[in-house]
Structure formats: C-alpha cells, structure tokens
Amino acid sequence: MLNLKSWKTGTAAFLALTITSSAVTPLITTAPALAQTRYPDSESYNRFVPSGTAIKVRYEKDKVLLMPDEKVPLTLTVAEDVVGNDRRVLIPRGSEIKGELRPAYRGTQFVGKELTLYRDLGNTQVRPYYINVTSNVVTRTEEVKKGANTTSILTGTAIGAGAAAALAALTGNRSISALEVIGGAGLGTIGGWLLNRKTVKMVAVYPEQDLAVKLRSDLALR
C-alpha cells in the first residue's frame, strides 16, 4: 500500500513515501503468487525472493509411483508467475525446478536444487540458479498385487526405476521398461527382496495436489 503525504514550509515542498508490505500470497489462489518485498539492498530490488514464498508447480504426468526407499529425479514446471509487491515478475511461469523425490519420514518429499528462469522473449532460458525448495512429505501408498493389470496402474503415470522393476517382477510384464521410467535403479537391486512376495506397497505422488513447494532460504536472482 502506498501513501503519499506532502507538506510545504515556505516555498519548499517535500514529499514522503510510506510503504507497507503485504503477506505472501497463499499457494492455492487464482492470482499470481506474491513474494513479500524484503530486499537486502537497493541493487537487488525486484530480484530478491524471500524464504517462505510459495511456488505453484505442475508436472507432465498425473501420478508418480516409486518405492519407499527410492530416490527419483524430477523436473517441475512453475505454473504461475511469482511476482513482487510492485507486480513485477520475479519467477516467470514456465520456469523449471530440478530436484528429486527422496525418502523422508515414512514417505517421500520433493527437494528442488536448481531453477532455470524462462523468458517469453525468443523462448529462451537463462543460466540456472541454486534454489532451496521442498514440498510436504507424501505418505500415500498404493498396494500392487501379483498379476495386477499394469495398464490400469500405469495410465498417466511416471514410475521410478525401482518401482518399475518391482512391478515387472510381480506382474511378469517386462515391457514396463519401455514406459515412462525415471531414475537409475533396476531389478538387480531389488530382485532378491521380491522373492516370494505377492504384494508390494509403493508411494503414490499426485504432483498437482502433493508437490506444493516453498522456498526454504532467500533466493537472490542477480
């Protein structure tokens, strides 16, 4: 909010500006995400995103399946502009956050480490920045039984390599490796663990509702 006060002393006129900052806009909103203005110096004005800022993201698949102890690389896309109090865009929609899903507190959590800003002009991207963002921990699981229908399980789904190997072993469907498999672990790392098992529990992540990310440290975009 901007208030302008003016007064006169003799023939001289002086102006004073009072600026108050607003709170960070919640993640789930129809308006662009708003980063609270808190700049460390004048040179970083409009290029500083404070810790605690929420960033709405999306992923190309509706669901991600992975084993509880599995790490899976993931790249999320910023779904809405993150803007400052002056309404200038700090993180444009279409920017990418690279990170991974990793085991955390009996579930999995997205941890982002690299941000590449997207520029509309010429559809080009600039150099990546280090970023520290995390999602809430996802503890939802889905149980897959021996002989299950893989088509219904995998429609619209990305699957970690470890989960893909487990699913292939349970169902006998070796064509799973040709689907949307992410990560590097394979059947060799969990084959013995699967012996004589009839069911396997996998962590099920729905990016649109589960991967709301938030900055855990200030982000300077210089």
Domain ranges across the chain:
27-55+74-136+208-220, 141-205
Average pLDDT over residues 186-202: 63
The pLDDT confidence band at residue 1, using thresholds 50, 70 and 90, is very low
pLDDT of residue 104: 95
pLDDT digits (tens, 9 = 90+) for 161-181: 989 888 888 887 766 654 557
pLDDT of residue 187: 46
Helix, strand, coil shares of the chain, percent, nearest 5, are 15, 45, 40
Query: Residue 54 pLDDT more than 70?
Result: yes
Query: Residue 154 pLDDT more than 90?
Result: no
Query: Residue 194 pLDDT more than 80?
Result: no
Q: What is the residue whose two structure tokens read 């700049």?
A: 39
The pLDDT confidence band at residue 199, using thresholds 50, 70 and 90, is confident
Q: Which of 18, 113, 108, 125 is nearest to 72 (CA)?
A: 108
Token pair recorded at residue 207: 């990016």
pLDDT digits (tens, 9 = 90+) for 125-138: 567 899 999 999 99
**84 vs 121, more confident:** 84
Report the C-alpha gap between 130 and 220 in whole angstroms.
Answer: 9
The pLDDT confidence band at residue 193, using thresholds 50, 70 and 90, is low
Give the distance, in angstroms, between the CA of residue 33 and the centroid of all CA atoms in the same chain.
14
Residues of the chain with pLDDT > 70: what percent? 66
Q: Which of 122, 55, 62, 63 is nearest to 95 (CA)?
A: 55
**pTM beyond 0.75:** no
Q: Which of 163, 171, 165 is nearest to 145 (CA)?
A: 171
Q: Which of 35-44, 86-95, 187-196 has the lowest mean pLDDT?
A: 35-44
Instruction: Report the alpha-carbon angle 136-128-37, nearest 5.
Output: 65
pLDDT digits (tens, 9 = 90+) for 68-118: 999 999 999 999 999 988 888 999 999 999 999 999 988 999 999 999 998
**57 vs 169, more confident:** 57
Query: Residue 6 pLDDT more than 80?
Result: no
- Does residue 24 contact residue 52 with C-beta atoms inside 8 Å? yes
pLDDT of residue 221: 85
Give the distance, in angstroms, between the CA of residue 62 and the centroid of all CA atoms in the same chain.
14
Upper half-sphere CA count for residue 213 (Cβ side, 13 Å): 32
Query: Residue 46 pLDDT more than 90?
Result: no
Q: Where are the alpha helices (DSSP H) in the chain?
A: 150-154, 161-171, 187-190, 207-210
Report the C-alpha gap between 33 and 83 in whole angstroms.
Answer: 6
